[in-house]
Amino acid sequence: MECDFPTLPLDCLVCIFSYLDAEDLITVSLVNQSWNGAAETAWLWRQMCLHRWTFCNLSKLNPEMQTWKNYYLRRAKLEQHMTSGRASADYTCKTLRGHTGSVVGLVYLSDSNHQFDSKSIVCSASSDGTIRAWSIQEGIQLWSSQVQDAPLTKIIADQQTGLVISTDSQGRIKAWKAQTGDELASFPTASSACTLLTYYRKDQSFLTAGTSGGALHTLTIPALSQVSHVRAFDTYKIDILLLSPDKHWVIAALRESLDLHPKVYFTESLSCPCEDDPPVSASLPVNGCTAASFFPSEAARVMIVHSDGLSNAKNISIFDIKSKKSKYKTEIMVEQVGSFELLFDGWNSDILLEAYGSGTILIAQGKELKVYSIAGTQIASFQDHKEHIAAMCVGLVRVVTASYDLSLRVFTWKKEQNKDLSLESRYHLLGGSHMFSRYSCTALDFSFRGFTHVACDYASIVASVAAKDGKDVLKAYSFNA
């Protein structure tokens, strides 16, 4: 039975209802037909979506569900489940088996930050010489490549073309069609190891590969035709290869030498080189590079973990990279915007470094995760793991750490009173029993085995577990929307 409230114009009701939250808006929609019409107004739900989330895309819902109200309710419910993390109630866990060797990498094929109402597909590469594609929600294998001649060592995805790119222990790079597993092209580098990155420029996708001999090969995608070859470092292995968010700069660095500076390359000079001119490049003024990461909300702000040159202490230096163009040439301008010393107990060189937004820094070392501001202020510290953190995934909603203790730890973002972004530790996701995972520590082999890699999109988390029998498995956690 409808209540007999005084009738107000629709515009007035919408204005009043704009002060309500989602739960109250649903409640008032039940009062009478007039209030229901106002409470169902698309403008109200659109404003609620844009107030809560910076980016909203209705196309991520099924066509019959594409309204602002449905978008808000589905996404808010999903985030509530990701925050509480109750087994069965909030998520399902599936074990994906098929590899007969160690998993060396895994990648999502879709946009990892905004996909939450469609099926997630992950590709994994293994030392068994195969790439396999998996449906995360269904928990099934979609396809497997033919066994390659050498163990695979890396895998990345190029979302622009819908391809995955792999490299093996002999330095052969291959492009694969992500939907079917068909091999499209290959390129030999004769390198024992390659580091890969892809980028899109002027209607063409490119791949840049850093080799164990210090060279940079830039290839077209999907043909893998070489467009440039640059000697970045003499004989040293390129461990770190990063692309700036504005796609203008490539950072190449190595961990083996404390004397060689990381280098910055202008992507245009790698993908469209001039015959008579060397590529536009510059060196960053730091000694060596233990880890590096770009801030995703800045055009080209990079942070480097490096030696102070005098002791074993480690510093973080932060640089903005810009270009200065004249009629005849382009110069790289590097401006230091921050620097501070890192303090860790029992320091070692295994550091995981990630950036969030324009000024939040995450560092995992040993069993500990720390959060810093760009000014070097420590905002938070967490010691939720019993063994070393092996991998870390940073997303818009959460951060996930993977540890050799066979657990994942899930954190969510929160705003501190001083407006710094920090994390809140939420819950563990367990990977099984150590009876079935590898853990060895001998005089000749100091290696721990538990979770080894982790990746996540908006609605799921996938991690690899090093199995005792050498046949690594994937654990897939899919959150209910």
> What average pLDDT score do residues 217-242 get?
94
When pLDDT is cut at 50, 70 and 90, the band that residue 80 belongs to is confident
Query: pLDDT tens digits, residue range 100-112?
Result: 999 999 999 976 5
Distance CA 405, CA 81 (A): 24
When pLDDT is cut at 50, 70 and 90, the band that residue 444 belongs to is very low
User: What does pLDDT average to over the chain?
Assistant: 87
Distance CA 339, CA 317 (A): 4
What's the pTM? 0.86
- Residues 137, 122 contacting (CB under 8 angstroms): no
Which of 38-42, 229-233, 323-327, 405-409 bottoms out in mean pLDDT, i.e. has the lowest?
A: 323-327
Query: pLDDT tens digits, residue range 248-300?
Result: 999 999 987 777 899 999 999 999 888 778 889 999 999 889 999 999 999 99
Share of the chain above pLDDT 90, in %: 57
Q: Are strands 121-126 and 131-135 parallel, antiparallel or unpaired?
A: antiparallel
When pLDDT is cut at 50, 70 and 90, the band that residue 442 belongs to is very low
- φ and ψ at 181, to 5 degrees? 85, 10
Distance CA 143, CA 131 (A): 8
- Confidence (pLDDT) at 430: 82
> What average pLDDT score do residues 138-157 get?
96
- Confidence (pLDDT) at 85: 77
More confident residue, 448 or 278: 278
331 DSSP assignment = E
When pLDDT is cut at 50, 70 and 90, the band that residue 440 belongs to is very low
- Residues 463, 450 contacting (CB under 8 angstroms): no
Domains and CATH numbers, the chain: 10-83 (1.20.1280.50)
When pLDDT is cut at 50, 70 and 90, the band that residue 199 belongs to is very high
Q: Measured in whole angstroms, how far is the alpha carbon of residue 14 from the centre of its chain? A: 40
Alpha carbon distance, N-terminus to C-terminus of the chain: 32
